[in-house]
Structure 1
Amino acid sequence: MSGSSIVVVFADDRPQLKSVMGELEGSLSQIDELVVVNCGGIRAAKKDPFLLVPLDANLPSQLAGILGARPKDFVVLLAPGVAGYGAWLSELVSTFDKLPEDSVVVPRSAFCTGPQAVAISDASAVFSKQKRHRFSIDWIENYRGFVTLEGAASNLCLAVRSEGLQSGLKELGPGVFKGERYEDLFEGFFALAARSGGIYISHGSLVSSKGKYMQAKPYLDQIPIREDFPLVSGCLIVKNEEQYIGECLKSLSDFVDEIVVYDTGSEDATIELAEAFGAKVIRGYWDDDFGAARNRSLSHCKGRWILWIDADERVLGDPTKVRAKLAEPVLRFSESECKQIKIRNFYGHGLFHSMSHVSMRIFLRIEGAFYGALHERVRRRARFDFLFEDLGANVFRELTIDHLGYMNEAMTKRTKTERNTELAGKNFEVVSSLEALMQQARTYMFSGDLPTARETAIEVLNKLDDSATSDSERRWLEATSFGLILDSLILEKNHELAEQWLEKFEEKSYFMSRPMAFRARIRLIQERYSEALALFQSLPVSEIGNDGLEVAFDHYVPEMVECLSQLGRPVEAAELLLDFFENDGVLDIHLGRLVELMKEAAIPISRLARSVKNVRQESFYAQFLQLEPKIADGILEQIYLGGDHSTILLATAAKVALMLDLERMLEWGARLRMSGFGQFCPLVSRAGDPSVVELDRVVYAAVAFGAFSDPRAKEICLSILANNHTEELISAVSVYAPSLLLKS
């Protein structure tokens, strides 16, 4: 939408007015009109190219009179000292074609707090006209067309349709607007708009100010949520994720208003499952660049906030509390434009155990974009001079994400290691060389190539002194490099060299809990169990280091259990594991090891069954297949009798039952049928297995037919009898399903 505007400014003397008009030069068109509000310090002259009105209680009615005499499409209010960048005015008013009639639209600025704030690192960019012109061109190119609905604003500048102004001015008559402060006019319109059409930011419009720095003021407790302005978009890229996608989307759905799934070439049922769930599925492509793929996904999102996850992740938290927090008006922009989320990584029982780190997983859609072919990061959408590159962030404790992708089975099945090694090389084309080198070291580490990971991390440290990295980037690279070096040495049980590197790390570390955790792990491989246990028990509940990794007491439960066990304290070891399992749903050692400890401590298995609440189901139930069948059956029985009839429990029981006696197979077969999963009856499965001896197959089939009248069992039984009508087989059938002999 284009049109003419009345631009209202404040000036109380001719020098101030001259400065204002100089700053506005080039912004106003010939059809725009300037109105100057003053306190009597300016006397009108015939040649003045503006209208002069006094600041008093009648200001609203005077503006209404001007609109009546000189009809314009829009009215724009500017605070003292405010000037625009480039085509700021046309960009500001063009927003109205998307908005309700009684809306108020505001621009962005580096001279205010709140949602309008711009993170500028070089102040000369907003004071030098030459730089400002270049900056404005870059800015509009990156932000043109972006509009957001807000609950807070500052008094720098606002635009309103003339029709909306006319109705608003009636409400802001002398009884409301006292005429004491020009700023009260802004606040009056913001209050009116918040109750009706809404307050919006036109992000492509940018203004500066030579006046005072403006603080944002909230006009609503919660930002309104509308279909065209959703609060949160869930954002994923996927390929062949049918095993994970259902649980992932289920965990995400209550937190978001829409889910966008960008598929990079699935050959399984991923797309169909996502569409059936109601996600917006984009059939895309893969070009060996995670950052590029995520940006293509991002382009299809409409939410104010982006919550991005992977299919092998699960979102945990209270959706109502999370959404209420995200709907709060932004007042301190630098702390609110993105959120660091705690990620709990589950590695299984190979090279690593579970650990946590924080990662920027929630960010304002209009601010963030992805960079990096591998281990992509979120940085500012507009990346040019004068802007801080990294978004300001705080840890958002209302949400947690569980990541299963590094579990050994998943890593092997999906060949992540090979893929990540290739992309780590490509990463040098996308991010800084030191960051790419660091990501390469991490990839070697996860693949199990410890010496190469260590050598690469040392190379990063050696190159740091000659690099031009920021302080925050340097601290991250240092902490991550030392962490990889120490992890690799501890895993190789090279405690002497680990001690040397730990001393170097302690000299550089800003958070002493991380070195303490490494020292405890070194004492453990030295078999100095009492010292190790004391150090582990001294760790904090939670502390985030420079590398984003969380150091927490409960991360080292497996190590403490090992110490207690070696010190001859099995009861304490088992109780520690059970308490942790019951509270967090995480079991960082094999289930079989816990069962051994419980037996040694004389703790009944029923205690384990009672502890199953918030269990990480996929990894927990998979371990039952590695237990002795009778033990696995006993635990599953207790869990089932405790009221857990979940699909995953029944699926696990169906597999375990294949290794049990006839009576237990019959019991689980009945339970599976009661829950609608008769197709997985273990009796029929065993009867249909040609590797099982014929007599046993006939018995399983006859029992299944006699108990459940299963037609599959009948077919199997009659087929075997047709080929081998021995007395032994006939006798078995006559015991369990005599009616089959009559029919044959």
Structure 2
Amino acid sequence: MPVSVIVTAGGTTADFQNLLSGLRPTLGLRDEVVCVLPPQRHDLAVKARTQRWLTVVDETPPEHAARWSAGLAATTNPVVVLLDGDTVLTPHWLEPIAAAFDDPTVVAAGPRCHRSLGPQRVRLPPEAAAGIPVFKAYARQWRQDHRGLTDVDRLGPVCVAVRREALERAGGPTLDMPYAELREQGRLVLVESALIAHLGGRQCALRPAPPADAPLLSASLIVKDEEAVIATCLNVLRAVADEIVVYDTGSTDRTREIAREMGARVIDGYWDDHFGDARNRSLAHCRGRWALTVDADEVVGGDPKALRQQLETAGRTLDAFLVHVDSPTGAGSVSVWSPRLFRAAEYRYSGRLHEQVTHRITGEVPQNERTETLSLAHSGYLGATVATKDKVRRNHRLAALAKSDGPEALYNFARAERDAGDPAGAIDACRSGLAANPEAFIRVGLLSILIRCCAETGRFPEANEALAELRTAAREQVTTDQSEIVVRTAEGNHERVLELLRGIPENAFNDLGVEAGRRRLRPFEIISLRATGRPAEAAELLRAELRAGRLVLPLGDIAKVLEGAGSDVAELARLIPEHAVREVLYATRPEAPPLAEAVVEALWERFPGDPQLFGVVVWLAGRLPVNSAIRWSGRMREQGLARYCPLLALAAATDRSARDRALAAAAALELFGDQAALPPLSEALALVPDDQSRAVLKELRALAPGVASAISSV
């Protein structure tokens, strides 16, 4: 099938000449080439006009989509190839791409490409990227080793072939290309045997420039049902940004109304199970030179004036700033330096889940540095919030949808498998990701998860093998130390754990930008101190964490540490600050009912009448001892919560003994006159075995004499 190649001239003069030299020998007899010139690039115009085999189109607008449209208007073939002008082509790259359109279901196809965004992206080994001759040799071998087509949900911006009619129905070309609309018409495929390379320098024609009148800073949010937090977020944010864009993905509460009241520009959008795409749709409405991405459950801190001065004076080689994000959890906090602030015209998000800031053309991470003028406090990792929004299940589903998108997607899938309680699945995902030659950052992440999951499942030889590989891949010593601590703890080598901890600074960050200092590793220190016969030291470290509101261990382990020092969980209630009560209550969910009740009872002694406590009691009600159910029923009825009476819940609990159910129903009737207890009382009495009836009646006389008397008279 003949194709029309539309080249948008760009790059250096040498880059453009290399493209033209590589393009001409790959053309078929009926192929045509149009070269679209950018404004003010007379050097490229001279080169293009000396090539008699191509048609030159100039006097085009500066917007890249308009230049592509101009090229389309000058061509006629049914398949068009949109090609950036600083691309290195290889022999026979075009033939399999054109052949893909022999299948009528294919509407767009593209080669594998070094330095391109999206599924086309391939990472070359350093030796293959050392120069054009060695790259072309590498591409020849690649063509022999790779075959077939791979279906994808999008292609990249550097080189894509598309059916002309399909592109017209999709609304024409855009800088990011209308892949969602093309996907509705047919298949998008990767041609695995074709490999090209994109130089993508500062003179790349695809690099958009911000409008001259663009404001300095835009804040970008994606939200859904955030009415509880969004006002606080925006109230602080509007002192920092020139504009705030809130992209709503389908709220059913007052989120949109509150955002408009706070001065934000609200976009009524949609959700398609893709965080990166949703963030990019929000960014498309931002006009600023710089973009700051914020979540609704984050609050900005810092010095707005100093921040703006830093942005105004940032050099052209600096594309992003790392912002310190602190996320409290029930077990302390997760602190990370994240590239939340970046040049809006050049960077976008990639990835369905745990999306990353990447260059919108090359797919590379931005050149960045940390900023101390801005910080974010994030509340979304608190245990109760994670449970309410069912984030673990949601993330696992999204990660599974994306896991075929390369090593980074496999890294996210491994994280999701681990969080969902499937370490074996996480191990398999890590091994697949490592086999795909990931970038250094992803390799470290995959190895870290692999080590943790192997240690948790007792696969210590594999864990130690991966640990040895991590030592060569990681840049920061704390990255390796953190993983070794996980392995040695699982092995029971607690003396080695304490030795490693002594060499780690109190505050440090690992290769992934996540806090991994000794403070963050406190749970391992507490466990190892207790395991090596130093219970008093372990308890003192734990008490310091509890005073700060950090549950660094599960409640069961906290109880053991305190008991080892001669105390009990009542001390937890005395130490924990009021703001952390909710997380303590959430932490009772996986524990046995006696421990959960003991914790809630101790909290009642310190915070009598706190309505948060009743939520756990309602959950525990059917499993409480009868005496505890009586006590909590009185407290809840005093608060007007008779419908949640634990005695009635216990009386109706079919997994409890007939004796317990009868006593609970009788107590509700005797003490509170609740007639709702009569049916479960009759049912429970009928289920009492004959050989236990005397004993149960004796207990009833002691607990509810009036009810017992009525029963005896029947």
Q: TM-score, normalised by structure 2?
A: 0.55
- The answer as to 2:634 corresponding to 1:683 is no
* 2:338 aligned to which of 356, 359, 362: 359
SS in 1 for 2:281: helix
- 1:537 corresponds to which residue? 502
Q: Which residue of 2 aligns with 1:262?
A: 248
Partner of 1:480: 445
Which among 241, 253, 260 is matched to residue 272 of structure 1? 253
1:514 aligned counterpart, secondary structure: helix
Instruction: Tell me the alpha carbon deviations over residues 625-672 of structure 1, each in whole angstroms, 9 at most, x when there is no partner.
Output: 454545433432332332375443331133335444455434433443
The correspondence of residues 121-270 of structure 1 with structure 2, limited to 5 A, is 125=203, 139=208, 143=210, 147-148=214-215, 232=219, 234-236=221-223, 249=230, 252=233, 255-257=236-238, 260=246, 262-263=248-249
* CA shift for structure 1 position 291: 1.3
- Equivalent pair of 1:236/1:294 in contact (CA under 8 Å): no
- 2:356 maps to 377
Q: Given the alignment of the two structures, is residue 598 of structure 1 paired with residue 562 of structure 2, yes or no? A: yes
1:423 to 402, 405, 416: 402
CA distance in 2, matches of 1:721, 1:517: 60
Q: State the partner residue of 2:139.
A: none
CA contact (8 A) 1:457 1:485 kept: no
| Aligned 1:389-468 pairs, distance under 5 A | 390=366, 392-394=368-370, 398-402=375-379, 403=381, 414=393, 416-425=395-404, 428=405, 433-436=406-409, 438-439=411-412, 442=415, 446=419, 447-448=422-423, 449-460=425-436, 463=437
Distance 2:284 2:408 in 1: 26
Is structure 2 residue 585 aligned with structure 1 residue 621? yes
Match of 2:311 among 330, 352, 365: 330
| Conserved? CA contact 2:441–2:511, under 8 Å | yes
Tell me the amino acid that sits aligned with residue 394 of structure 1: R
The residue that corresponds to 1:290 in the other structure is 275
SS in 2 for 1:554: coil
Paired residue type of 2:402: L
Contact 1:255 1:322 in 2 (8 A): no
3-state SS of paired residue (1:414): helix
Distance in structure 1 (CA, Å) of the matches to 2:364 and 2:469: 31
Q: 1:527 — aligned with what?
A: 492
Residue of structure 1 in register with 2:142 after alignment: none
Conservation of the 8 A alpha-carbon contact between 1:702 and 1:714:
no
* TM-aligned CA distance change 1:582 to 1:693, over 3 Å: same
One-letter identity of the residue aligned with 1:294: R
Larger Rg: 1
- Confirm or deny: 8 A CA contact 1:347 1:408 kept in the other structure: no
Matched, 1:340 2:323: yes
**In the alignment, residue 622 of structure 1 is paired with which amino acid?**
Y
Alpha-carbon distance change, 714 to 693 in structure 1, aligned in 2, over 3 angstroms: farther
Give yes or no for the alignment of 1:569 onto 2:534.
yes
User: Residues 693 and 288 (structure 1 numbering): CA distance in 2 closer, same or farther, change over 3 Å?
Assistant: closer
Pick closer, same or farther for the CA change 1:254–1:440 going to 2, 3 Å. Answer: same
Amino acid at match of 1:401: H
1:552 equivalent to 2:517? Answer yes
CA distance in 1, matches of 2:704, 2:570: 39
Equivalence for 1:163: none
Structure 1 pair 718–341 and aligned structure 2 pair: CA distance change class (3 A): same
Residue from 629, 638, 654 that aligns with 1:665: 629
Indicate how the Cα distance of structure 1 residues 611 and 398 shifts in structure 2: closer, same or farther if over 3 A, else same. farther
SS in 2 for 1:543: coil
Alpha carbons 1:236, 1:261 under 8 Å: kept: yes
| Secondary structure, counterpart of 1:550 in structure 2 | coil
SS at structure 1 position matched to 2:496:
helix
Deviation at 1:567, TM superposition (A): 0.9
2:223 aligned partner, one-letter code: L
C-alpha distance 122-614 of structure 1, shift in aligned 2 (>3 A): farther
> CA, structure 1 residues 679+277, in 2 after alignment: closer, same or farther (shift >3 Å)?
farther
Q: Quick one: distance in 1 between partners of 2:610 and 2:395?
A: 30
What residue in structure 2 maps to residue 714 of structure 1?
Answer: 675
Report the 3-state secondary structure (helix = DSSP H, G, I; strand = E; otherwise coil) of the residue aligned with 1:235.
strand
- Residues 163-184 of structure 1, C-alpha deviations (whole Å, 9 max, x = no match): xxxxxxxxxxxxxxxxxxxxxx
Work out the CA distance in 1 between the residues paired with 2:257 and 2:669.
36
- 3-state SS of the aligned residue for 1:553? coil
RMSD of aligned residue pairs (Cα, Å) = 5.2
Q: Aligned pair in 2 of structure 1 residues 604, 686: CA closer, same or farther (>3 Å)?
A: closer
Distance in 2, Cα, partners of 1:525 & 1:690: 40
SS of equivalent residue, structure 2 residue 338: strand
Alignment partner of 1:586 is 2:653: no
Greater Cα shift, 501-510 or 331-340: 331-340
**Structure 1 residues 574 and 368 mapped into 2: Cα distance closer, same or farther (>3 Å)?**
same
1:148 is paired with a residue whose SS is coil
**In structure 1, what is the Cα distance between the partners aligned to 2:638 and 2:285?**
43
Deviations 1:124-183 (A, max 9, x none): 74xxxxx8xx57xx636xx45974268xxxxxxxxxxxxxxxxxxxxxxxxxxxxxxxxx
The one-letter code sitting in structure 1 at the alignment partner of 2:431 is: E
Number of residue pairs the alignment of both structures matches? 493
Rounded to whole Å, the distance in 2 between the matches of 1:308 and 1:735 is 63
1:517: Cα distance to partner? 2.5
Tell me the CA shift for residue 535 of structure 1.
0.7
CA distance in 2, matches of 1:308, 1:497: 39
Q: Secondary structure at the match of 1:399?
A: strand
Q: Which runs of 5+ in 1 are unaligned?
A: 1-23, 27-84, 89-120, 126-130, 151-230, 239-244, 265-269, 465-473
Cα shift at 1:533:
0.9
Name the aligned partner's letter for residue 624 of structure 1: T
Distance 2:684 2:500 in 1: 70
- SS of the equivalent of 2:588 reads helix
State which of 594, 610, 615 in structure 1 corresponds to 2:574.
610
Deviations for 1:332-354, whole angstroms, at most 9, x for unmatched residues?
A: 43679544343559699xxxx98
Secondary structure of the 1:394 match is strand
Q: Does the residue aligned with 1:544 lie in a helix, a strand or coil?
A: coil
Give how far 1:361 is off.
4.1
Give distance in 2, aligned partners of 1:537 and 1:412.
35
The 8 Å contact of residues 327 and 377 in structure 2, kept in 1 or not, is answered as yes
Are the equivalent residues in 1 in contact too, given 2:621–2:649 (CA < 8 A)? no
Aligned partner of 1:156 in structure 2 is none
- On the 8 A contact 1:541/1:553 being kept in 2, the answer is yes
- Report SS of the residue matched to 1:421: helix
Identity of aligned residues (%): 19
Kindly indicate whether the alpha-carbon contact (under 8 Å) linking 2:633 and 2:645 is maintained by their aligned counterparts in 1: yes
Distance 1:124 1:690 in 2: 72
Gaps of 5+ in 2: 1-38, 42-59, 64-198, 239-243, 687-692
Distance 2:232 2:416 in 1: 28
Pair 25,647 (structure 1): closer, same or farther in 2 beyond 3 Å: same
State the partner residue of 2:614.
Answer: 650
Preserved contact between residue 234 and residue 260 of structure 1 (Cα < 8 Å): yes
Note if contact 2:247-2:269 (Cα within 8 Å) is conserved in structure 1. no
Q: How does 1:96-111 map to 2 (within 5 A)?
A: none
The 1:331–1:578 alpha-carbon spacing in structure 2 relative to 1, beyond 3 Å, is same
